[in-house]
Structure 1
């Protein structure tokens, strides 16, 4: 028999699992709860310090009890903060554990406290500044700082708030300690796509070369997706139970490790057969020049990310960027690619500065018409567009974006950042915007695009939407179809028409 040990996240306890546990039991599984001290388990004693080690011991005790009682196949499920005591306990009882399920939870590492996984950077600072004691549970409207509430009914959100308990600070501040034994235990990740990336996005990140994600391509690691926010046990308990049953049997999708015999998705050929064209390289910027003396209008292509600092080739040499740059150069505009420093979600300030500096260098080039420039953003570079939507300069004749992220995703913890195009579009004025939308976009990114279009319509912004039928995120190297090629031709034509008009 499979025995699920369910470990809840911050501020919550066994009560959140009620409906999911009932469905698991109906499927013939045994369910145990790890009631963590101070969070639905025993209350802390007078003067007792409750820290991560306390909660690790709580989970170990449940594992030992299952082993003594039934000897069933144990599947440890950790949600949110709960993955930290789960990994700590599994590291000590690795031979007793059949599988660990990360339920919309990160990949904690030895020596790193749970606080590092809190998405909101300002919240991390607030917690770190507290000396000791407990962290009060969130108010009803503050739960999004800890994860997306997408899919939660009003009643579920009321219940989550009413039953929340203070989180002992030591559980967030004490580093996790692992010997490495837990690495032998098979792992399943359940990704809640209303809160963060799905499997396809993870695959792309692995292929780009993010060293932190390389281990996810191991054959012992599987993934499932749930189209909901951060609390699936409350928003879709039946679907979660079905997913956990499948996970226990070893099901799920696997990521593919980089294969030297086949280029990763972002390094496959550009979907158009664009003639080669010489480039001029200066610093972090490449210029693809059209024929004739100029001055010519220019299109600056801004790559997405985050991209690991050690990724090679760097984005300005990726086929999508070079393909677009050569294509516009063949039609009379300077094509510009650049590398910027978006290596982590905390780097948007650096990346925006790199883009602004590159634009000024391009405009200063005598072969460029400084009064006719377009900016074209891709994917995770989309948030940088907010700076240019906010009171756009007269020389910016068009802003384009392909499959862009147009608002910080819930798991990013950047809700109050200035890099928020949905909010900035109200100040775009008459700036023409060309938005290329992939039909098979991931749910979390598609939601930001729809928010942007709604806000753009409300403020009568000049937006032209070009849809890519059956296209995916990064379709230029993934989907070389006639429909995708037509979309590229339309998008390039729309941008150049605004530059030359």
Structure 2
């Protein structure tokens, strides 16, 4: 059995993994869902100053403080960037890294660096208007993502602003992530193919591709299918 460390994406907390975590525990796995600093129940004054390096440290601390081995580390969306760095840092404790429809870290680049000039300008304006935070999505933004109305309501109600510094701070990789045993999970209703960076990484013999016919938040929309996929990797 594996020890699953589950990291939610932007605006979310450990709560996003509740159903998947329960299913994995029922299969006999250890499960540690992470709330990153400055989010969910860790949101508070000064959270906008939480950087990406702190999010990496949050994940590494869960592994080290609980003395975990045979770790399957799953990072969703934004969290692929800090989780990928953490995977490179925990060495032999790692069994597999799983990117859940996620961004992947590129050494020296931030979450926003791959965006267009127009996109970065929009983000800068968003952060300025929100006092250094990246505001959560609205209900309308979740349309077409295989989510029911109650699911969308839950996400919107529980989301918190995301620390702006975390999405602007560059990743630092202690080793190439293509050397790590990795599965990239593409959620097909949020685009049929991975990014060009991921496609290049998939040429590594250490990387494999998996797919789910759902939207960008599979832990909410398809928890049973996601847990089954993850459990098979463990």
- Give the TM-score taking structure 2 as reference length: 0.89
Contact kept, 8 Å, 2:11 with 2:40, in 1: the verdict is no
Q: Where does residue 91 of structure 2 map in the other structure?
A: 94
- What secondary structure sits across from 2:225 in the alignment? helix
Residue number in structure 2 paired with 1:188: 183
**CA RMSD for the aligned pairs?**
2.4
- Is it true that 1:223 corresponds to 2:219 in the alignment? no
1:125 equivalent in alignment to 2:124: no
Residue 103 to residue 72, structure 1, CA distance change in 2 (3 Å): same
Distance 2:47 2:226 in 1: 38
Name 1:54's counterpart in structure 2: 54
| TM-score calculated relative to the size of structure 1 | 0.43
Deviation of 1:95 (Å): 2.3
Alignment of 1:303-382 (within 5 A): none
CA distance in 2, matches of 1:34, 1:231: 16
Alignment of 1:242 onto 2:228: yes
Deviation at 1:63, TM superposition (A): 1.2
- 1:20 equivalent in alignment to 2:20: yes
**Is this contact kept in 2: 1:106–1:117, CA < 8 A?**
no
1:227 Cα deviation after fit: 0.3
Higher relative contact order (CA 8 A, sep 6+): 2
Deviations 1:229-278 (A, max 9, x none): 10111111000000111223xxxxxxxxxxxxxxxxxxxxxxxxxxxxxx
Looking at structure 1, the residues matched to 49 and 106 of structure 2 have their Cα atoms a distance apart, in angstroms, of: 23
Alignment of 1:101-180 (within 5 A): 101-116=98-113, 122-129=118-125, 130-131=127-128, 133-143=132-142, 149-180=144-175
Deviation at 1:134, TM superposition (A): 1.1
Q: 1:238 and 1:157 mapped to 2: Cα distance?
A: 18
Residues 39-60 of structure 1: per-residue CA shift (max 9 Å, x gap): 1353456588211111111111
How many pairs align? Answer: 231
CA contact (8 A) 2:12 2:158 kept: yes
Native 8 Å contact 2:82 2:105 kept in 1: no
In the alignment, the residues of structure 2 paired with residue 150 and residue 124 of structure 1 have an alpha-carbon distance, to the nearest angstrom, of 24
Q: Map residues 418-457 of structure 1 onto 2, 5 A cutoff.
A: none
CA distance in 1, matches of 2:154, 2:124: 28
Question: C-alpha distance in 1, partners of 2:169/2:197?
Answer: 25
Q: Distance in 2 between matches of 1:54 and 1:163?
A: 22
Larger Rg: 1
Aligned to 1:287: none
Structure 1 unpaired stretches of 5+: 249-501
Alpha-carbon distance change, 246 to 116 in structure 1, aligned in 2, over 3 angstroms: farther
Contact 1:16–1:233 under 8 Å retained in 2? yes
Q: Where do 5+ consecutive residues of structure 2 fail to align?
A: none
Runs of 4+ in structure 1 over 2 Å off: 40-49, 120-125, 128-132, 181-184, 210-215
Contact 1:94 1:184 in 2 (8 A): no
Does 1:11 find its partner at 2:11? yes
